[in-house]
Amino acid sequence: MTPTRTIIPPTSIVKTMSPGDHAGTANPLRVLWRAFATIWSVPKARIGVAMLGVFVLVAIFAPLLAPYAATDNSFGRSEDMSAAHWLGTTAAGQDVLSQLIYGARVSVFVGFVAGLLSTIIAVLIGLSWGYLRGFAGEVINFIVNLFLVIPALPLMIVIAAYLQNGGIGMIVLVVVITGWAWGARVLRSQTQSLRSRDFVTAAIFSGESPSRIVFREILPNMTSLIVGSFFGASTAAILAEAGLEFLGLGDSTTVSWGTMLFWAQNSNALLTGQWVLLFAPGLCISLLATSMSLINFGVDGLSNPRLREGAKR
Amino acid sequence: MRYTLSKVGLLLLTLWAAVTLNFLLPRLMPGSPADAAIAKLAQNGPVSPSTRAAIEAQLGVPTGSAWDQYLQYLNNVVHFDFGVSYTFFPQSVASLVATALPWTLVLVGFVTIVAFIFGTLLGVLAAWKRGSWLDTLPTVGGTFASAFPYFWTALLLLFFLGYVAGWFPTSGAYSSSATPDFSVAFLLDALYHSILPATTILITSLGGWILGMRSTMINTLGDDYVTFAEANGLHPRTVAIRYAARNAILPNLTSFGLALGGVVGGSLLVERVFNYPGVGYLLYTAVVNQDFPLMQALFLIITISVLLANFIVDILYGILDPRTRR
């Protein structure tokens, strides 16, 4: 804030009037740290961050944590819980706990990569579309609405059926194709409301190029929406990946939570009474997805200080 | 009237786009679906040239220009001619879809309406009693339950209530001894078989409605006319229901159409778990058997159903909110 100055050059008007820009371009690490602290200050989000952290650590250190190799099938078949196999073994003689630990890698990987790619597409399309006016805007509007309204899972199933037995790469591709539209629409409406604000007008008069206005002036004010759509897209990606693999549409030799459930259903774990085999992978998927929804409760405060916990209007 | 006409125009445009996407999908994919299908048939014995020609014609192996194929395809779609299924040869795809569609429509349609009503009521309650257990329980529970994968909820219910407790049937939409008709006994049997699939969809989709209604309701509770109603000394319940909730339902209704696509997708997985003979189970069978004509037709039917449901919601919105008609 510079209340004492009488003549303010246009660029600093921009700086003082865009609330998300307070950290400036100072130090990326400090910006990240402040973002983290903002999310951490919300109790619900704090639980989410802790849960997500555990899953990420398990995924990274899976080889150290897992008692056996994930594909080692030298054990007894469909064994119950025991000291040697805490969660029992599968019908193919693999250790369930080890599979569960290694399975975190696939879900976390797909969640982050597919979430990130969907968000990048959503940001590029959403922002330029929000800034554009006229016929081009109408055409994009129609395409985005079409992708929003076409049921995603059937489309994914059909594409995955054509690209037979693709691995994780195929699943990421399919999830990104169907997952970017929601974020694009949310970001567009925010861009449209921001483009009529004074600081954007000031930037236009100071002769900034459209791309600079969109990505340097408008973008920082949408941090919370962008982070929010990243976690939303990641959650959808994790659930979609599990669903496709459960239907047997991925590479069924990959060890993931989805394929564990696929094999559990196909080896009749329901009849043998191995409830852990059904219960554990699904619980992990739900907890991972919940952790991201919880983090989203804290994201609102990122670009609007008034929404931060403890800040009263 | 202008509102309705513009919505009808949009519906026709979207329908055309969905049909065209369905035409383009198999042609954009690497490799030829026809080759894959013929290779699959060839495992059972030699494929005669006439069969080969029939399959190629169905899957759009180029005979004539792309434009001719496209016109031919549009003509077929308009006449509900989707060819013959490989898996259920010689049944036509159209008759298979017609048998499966009512099961899914009734199941998903009924559960979605129930979930919308219950979710909206719980959301109103949560926003009104903000901070109390009536708020915390549905909000936290809803957040957690909406993160459940549909098929997992289905597997758990099937295992604990179907296999372990033995309260509910574990497979199908009616007893294997029954024949589908409209007798009371059959309808009761069908209802009994639908309880587990319906409960699964209800549990997983309820949370979204609660959270959506809660947040729009909290916004309307902050509006000036609500403060004004409170200042007039109206009963808090009247303010909450007649003033805040009535205005909060409309924005929630718009998300109805968009959420429907997700529910339909989820119900496909649920049908797979319960072997429920609807569109989702048929799609699963088609995918497993690489029955591309059946798969394409099902995708088109599912998309069209969701588009029509959205259209109905849009028209309803226009009736409920006069501002949109201007």
Between 3.40.50.1820, 3.20.20.70, 1.10.3720.10, 3.40.50.1860, what CATH number should domain B93-148+197-325 receive?
A: 1.10.3720.10
Task: Tell whether A294 is within 8 A of chain B (Cβ).
Answer: yes
Confidence of residue B296 (pLDDT cuts 50, 70, 90): confident
Contact B149 A271 (CB under 8 A): no
What ranges do the domains of chain A cover? 37-69+85-307
The CA R_g of chain B, rounded to the nearest whole Å, is: 24
ipTM of the complex: 0.82
Residues comprising chain B, all counted? 326
What Cα–Cα distance (Å) separates residue A28 from each residue in A25, A31, A32, A33, A46?
7, 5, 6, 9, 22
What span, in angstroms and rounded, lies between the C-alpha atoms of A262 and B118? Answer: 32
Q: Does the CB of B29 have a partner CB in chain A at under 8 Å?
A: yes
pLDDT at B62: 54
pLDDT tens figures, A199-230:
888 888 898 888 888 888 888 888 888 888 89
Asked if the C-beta of B294 comes within 8 angstroms of chain A's C-beta atoms, the answer is no
State the SS3 of A194-223.
HCCCHHHHHHHHCCCCHHHHHHHHHHHHHH
For residue A303, give the nearest of A219, A229, A231 by alpha carbon: A219
The verdict on pTM exceeding 0.90 is no
Listed residue (B16, A263, B138, A50) closest to B24, CA to CA? B16
Contact A270 B290 (CB under 8 A): no
Q: Residues 6 or more apart from A222 whose CB is under 8 A from it?
A: A20, A187, A190, A191, A194, A303
For residue A18, pLDDT beyond 60? no
Task: Spell out the domain ranges in chain B.
Answer: 93-148+197-325
What is B233-246 written as a DSSP string?
T--HHHIIIIIIIH
Q: What CATH superfamily is the domain A37-69+85-307?
A: MetI-like (1.10.3720.10)
Q: Which two tokens stand for residue B227?
A: 């403060």
Instruction: Give the minimum alpha-carbon distance from B140 to chain A in angstroms, rounded to a whole number.
Output: 9
Q: What are the CA-CA distances from residue A20 to residues A206, A225, A245 (Å)?
A: 20, 12, 40
Mean pLDDT (whole number) for A237-258? 86
Q: CA dist A241 to A110, A227, B120, Å? A: 8, 21, 30
A302-to-A19, A36, A38, A212 alpha-carbon distances in Å: 10, 9, 6, 22
Task: Name the burial class of residue B237, with classes exposed (0-12), middle (13-18) and buried (19+) by CB atoms within 10 angstroms of its CB.
Answer: exposed
Chain A residues in contact with B258 by the CB 8 A cut-off are 148-149
**What's the pLDDT score for residue A6?**
42
**Res. B30: pLDDT tops 60:** yes
**∠ at Cα A185 (A181, A191), nearest 5°?**
140
Residues B126-136 pLDDT 10s: 888 887 888 88
Q: Hey, is the C-beta of B203 within 8 angstroms of any chain A C-beta?
A: no
Percentage of chain B exceeding pLDDT 90:
4
